[in-house]
């Protein structure tokens, strides 16, 4: 993303927060020169994932070994 010095002045905190959150640097154009603001280390893509509380967290192999005998009768349900 490239902004002018005036745009940076107007939205400096929003722009700096974006650099921190995304790990992407920002370019500022001033008097024909380009300056960059970059985080000290790039953000990992996995850090930007949002949590989904409805999903199962754990070892997928544990799901294979669940005893479903109490939940499943063996008879297919027919739609009426």
Residue 54 has which token pair? 């409805």
What pLDDT does residue 60 have? Answer: 77
User: Among candidates 4, 45, 39, 35, which has minimal Cα distance to 18?
Assistant: 39
- Evaluate whether 8 touches 1 at the Cβ level (below 8 Å): no
Give the position of tokens 């949002």. Answer: 50
What pLDDT does residue 40 have? Answer: 82
Model confidence over 15-73: pLDDT tens digits? 999 988 888 899 999 999 999 999 887 667 777 778 887 787 788 787 777 777 777 77
**Count of structural domains within the chain:** 1
Structural domain of residue 7, as residue ranges? 2-64
**Which are the contacts of 28, defined by CB distance < 8 A and separation ≥ 6?**
2, 3, 4, 5, 8, 34, 35, 36, 37
Q: Is the pLDDT of residue 9 over 90?
A: yes
Across 75-79, average pLDDT: 70
Domain assignment present for 71: no
Domain assignment present for 38: yes
Domain assignment present for 34: yes
Which H or E element spans position 29? Answer: strand 26-30
């Amino acid at each position: 993303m490239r902004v002018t010095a005036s745009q940076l002045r107007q939205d400096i905190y929003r722009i700096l927060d974006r650099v921190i959150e995304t790990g992407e640097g920002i370019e500022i154009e001033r008097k024909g020169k380009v300056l960059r603001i970059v985080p000290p280390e790039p953000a990992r893509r996995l850090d930007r994932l949002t949590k989904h509380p409805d999903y199962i967290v754990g070892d997928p192999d544990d799901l294979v070994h669940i005893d479903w005998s109490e939940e499943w009768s063996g008879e297919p349900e027919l739609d009426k």
